[in-house]
C-alpha cells in the first residue's frame, strides 16, 4: 500500500459555484470550504514519522472530506440514488436520512430515488421499482432500525445496473454496504467511466464488525456492543444462577473480534473472549476446556464471549459454504463450544449447566445509539459534499477523528483486525484475566 495511490477519482473538474454560504478565510466565524490539498496523516506516532522527509510527501495521508467551493453538479438537474446492501447494521436509516436531507436542503437536489432491496433494485427483472425519497418521507426514519429501502445480498450484473443508472439519468449513487457492496460499487464506477456517464459512485462503508480497513470505526459498531452489553450481564445472571453455570454469548465478527472484545471490555464479567484473530485449542493443558475447568473450580460460574468467526480451525475442513454476498458462512462456533464443553465435563464427571445465547439479529436490527446517530448523520453529509464535487469511487470514513475520502479499492483489499500485540487487546486480556494461553 502506498500513500501516493490515495488519490480520489473524479468525474471532471468542478466548475459550478457551491450554493453553500461558506467562507474562505479563517476567523470570520463562518465555516470554510475545504481545500483540495488538505490531507490527514495516517500514522501519527512521531517515531514512525521520523523516517519521512519534512514535507511528508511520503507519509501516508488521506484527502480531507468536506464541502468544496466549486461543485461538479447543478443541483436542479441532478438525480441521486441510494442503495443499501448486505446485512442490517444500526444506523442505516440515519445515513439515508442524512443524505436526503443534505442533498435537499443544502444543495437543492430535488430528485432522490431509493433503490429497493440492494443491487437487485437496479436490475429491472426483479420489478422492485424505485421509492421517491423526500424530507417528509425520511424525517422520522432515524427512530427505526433496519433499512427502509430493504436490502439483499449478492452481486448483480454490473452492465445491467449501469444500464438502469443510465436509463434513469442517475448522477450519483450512494451505496451503503460492506466489502462486497463496495467492490460492486467500484465495478459500477469503472463501467461508468468506460461509458463516460456523469455519475458519481460513493461508498458509505457499513460493517457492524468494524473491520473496514484504514478507518477508525464503521457506523453501527458502537451501537452493536452497546446492545450486547446488557446481554452479557444477562449471561452472567444465567451463569451464576446455576451451580457451575457456564454462559456462552456468540457475537458478530466474521473475520475480526471487535464487537466481542469491546462488549466484553464494557461489561467486565466475562472470563474468556474468543476472536477470529487468535488461535486457540480446546483440548490439552493450554486448551480452553482445562482453563474453564479451573475457572469453575475456583468460582463456580463462567461467562464466555465468542465471535462468530473464532475457532474455525476446530471444524473439519471438508467444504466451505458462502452466502449470497460471497462471505464465508461460518459453522456455528457457539454450538460447537456448547457441545464440546458439555461432552468434556460429562467425561470428567463434573456436572455443569451450559446456556447458549445468540443475540445477533437483535443487535444488528436495532436503531443507532446517540453517538452512532451523530456519526451517521455526519458521514452522510460528507458523502454528499464529496459527491457534489464530482468525486467518485471513494468511501467517506473517519481517520484519526477527521473525515476523509479513501479510494474504494484501498479499503476493500484487506480487512481491519484486532492487533493481538496492541494495547486494545491487552486491555481485554487485562480485564478478563483470560486464564489460558492463546
Positions annotated as catalytic residues are: 209
123 annotated as ligand-binding: no
80 binds a copy of itself (CB under 8 A): no
Choose which of 181, 262, 271, 392 interacts with a copy of itself (CB under 8 A). 262
Region of 54-62, 159-167, 203-211, 282-290 interacting with a copy of itself (CB under 8 A): 54-62
Site for a copy of itself in 130-149 (CB under 8 A): 142-148
Which residue from 36, 69, 160, 358 is in contact with a copy of itself, where contact means CB under 8 A?
358
List CB contacts of 57: < 8 A, sequence separation 6 or more.
none
Task: Locate 9 and state its grid cell.
Answer: 477519482
Residue 71 contacts a copy of itself per CB under 8 A: no
Q: How far apart are CA 421 and CA 424, in angstroms?
A: 9
Strands 200-205 and 394-399: what pairing? parallel
Residues 156 to 215: which contact a copy of itself by CB under 8 A? none
Asked if 45 is part of the footprint of a copy of itself (rule: CB under 8 A), the reply reads: yes
| C-alpha cell recorded at residue 2 | 502506498
| 179 marked among binding-site residues | yes
Candidate ranges 75-83, 160-168, 199-207, 395-403; the one touching a copy of itself (CB under 8 A): 395-403
Q: Minimum distance between the CB of residue 121 and a copy of itself, rounded to whole angstroms?
A: 9
Rounded to a whole number of angstroms, the minimum distance from the CB of residue 53 to a copy of itself is 5
Q: Which of 130, 272, 425, 436 binds a copy of itself (CB under 8 A)?
A: 425
Burial class (CB in 10 A: 0-12, 13-18, 19+), 199: buried
Q: Which of 147, 97, 169, 23 is nearest to 383 (CA)?
A: 97
Q: Centre a 10 Å sphere on the Cβ of residue 310 and count the other Cβ atoms it contains.
A: 27
Q: Which of residues 309-328 bind a copy of itself (CB under 8 A)?
A: 323-325, 327
209 a known binding residue?
A: yes
In whole angstroms, what is the distance from residue 392 CA to residue 387 CA?
Answer: 7
Q: Which residues of 147-181 are buried (b: 16+ CB within 10 A; e: fewer)?
A: bbbbbbbebbebeebbbbbeeeebbbbbbbbbbbb
Nearer to a copy of itself, 192 or 376 (CB): 376
Q: Does 254 bind a copy of itself (CB under 8 A)?
A: no
Asked if 365 touches a copy of itself (CB under 8 A), the answer is yes
The CA-based dihedral angle spanning residues 122, 123, 125, 126, taken in that order and rounded to the nearest 10 degrees: -50
> Does residue 154 have a known ligand-binding role?
yes
The residue within the footprint of a copy of itself, chosen from 69, 166, 190, 234 (CB under 8 A), is: 234
Q: Any binding-site annotation on 309? A: no
95, containing H or E segment: helix 92-101
Q: Which residues are annotated as a binding site?
A: 87, 153-154, 178-181, 207-209, 252-254, 308, 361-364
Amino acid at each position: 500500500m502506498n500513500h501516493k495511490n490515495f488519490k480520489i477519482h473524479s468525474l471532471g473538474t468542478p466548475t459550478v459555484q457551491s450554493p453553500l454560504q461558506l467562507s474562505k478565510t479563517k476567523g470570520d466565524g463562518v465555516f470554510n470550504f475545504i481545500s483540495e490539498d488538505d490531507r490527514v496523516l495516517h500514522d501519527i506516532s512521531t517515531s514512525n514519522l521520523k523516517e519521512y522527509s519534512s514535507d511528508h510527501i511520503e507519509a501516508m495521508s488521506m484527502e480531507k472530506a468536506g464541502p468544496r467551493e466549486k461543485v461538479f453538479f447543478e443541483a436542479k438537474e441532478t438525480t441521486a440514488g441510494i442503495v443499501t446492501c448486505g446485512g442490517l447494521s444500526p444506523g442505516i436509516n440515519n445515513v439515508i436520512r442524512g443524505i436526503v436531507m443534505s442533498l435537499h436542503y443544502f444543495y437543492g437536489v430535488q430528485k432522490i430515488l431509493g433503490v429497493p432491496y440492494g443491487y437487485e433494485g437496479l436490475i429491472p427483472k426483479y420489478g422492485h421499482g424505485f421509492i421517491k425519497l423526500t424530507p417528509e418521507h425520511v424525517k422520522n426514519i432515524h427512530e427505526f432500525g433496519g433499512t427502509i429501502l430493504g436490502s439483499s445480498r449478492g452481486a448483480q450484473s454490473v452492465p445491467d445496473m449501469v444500464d438502469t443508472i443510465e436509463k434513469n439519468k442517475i448522477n450519483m449513487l450512494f451505496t451503503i454496504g460492506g466489502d462486497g457492496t463496495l467492490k460492486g460499487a467500484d465495478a459500477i464506477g469503472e463501467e461508468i467511466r468506460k461509458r463516460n456517464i456523469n455519475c458519481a459512485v460513493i461508498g458509505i462503508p457499513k460493517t457492524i464488525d468494524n473491520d473496514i480497513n484504514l478507518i477508525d470505526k464503521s457506523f453501527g459498531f458502537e451501537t452493536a456492543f452497546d446492545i450486547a452489553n446488557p446481554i452479557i450481564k444477562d449471561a452472567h445472571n444465567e451463569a451464576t444462577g446455576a451451580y457451575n453455570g457456564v454462559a456462552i454469548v456468540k457475537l458478530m465478527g466474521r473475520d475480526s473480534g471487535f464487537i466481542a472484545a469491546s462488549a466484553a471490555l464494557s461489561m467486565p464479567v466475562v472470563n474468556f473472549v474468543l476472536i477470529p484473530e487468535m488461535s486457540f485449542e480446546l483440548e490439552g493443558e493450554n486448551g480452553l476446556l482445562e482453563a474453564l475447568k479451573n475457572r469453575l473450580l475456583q468460582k463456580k460460574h463462567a461467562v464466555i464471549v465468542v465471535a462468530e468467526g473464532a475457532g474455525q480451525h476446530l471444524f473439519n475442513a471438508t467444504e466451505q459454504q458462502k452466502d449470497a454476498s460471497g462471505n464465508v458462512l461460518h459453522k456455528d462456533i457457539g454450538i460447537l463450544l456448547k457441545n464440546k464443553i458439555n461432552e468434556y465435563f460429562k467425561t470428567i464427571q463434573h456436572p455443569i449447566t451450559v446456556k447458549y445465547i445468540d443475540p445477533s439479529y437483535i443487535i444488528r436490527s436495532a436503531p443507532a445509539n446517540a453517538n452512532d446517530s451523530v456519526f451517521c448523520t455526519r458521514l452522510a453529509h460528507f458523502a454528499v459534499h464529496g459527491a457534489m464535487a464530482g468525486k467518485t469511487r471513494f468511501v467517506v470514513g473517519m481517520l484519526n477523528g477527521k473525515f476523509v475520502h479513501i479510494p474504494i479499492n484501498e479499503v476493500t483489499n484487506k480487512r481491519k483486525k484486532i492487533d493481538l500485540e496492541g494495547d486494545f487487546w491487552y486491555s481485554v486480556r487485562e480485564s478478563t484475566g483470560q486464564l489460558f494461553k492463546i
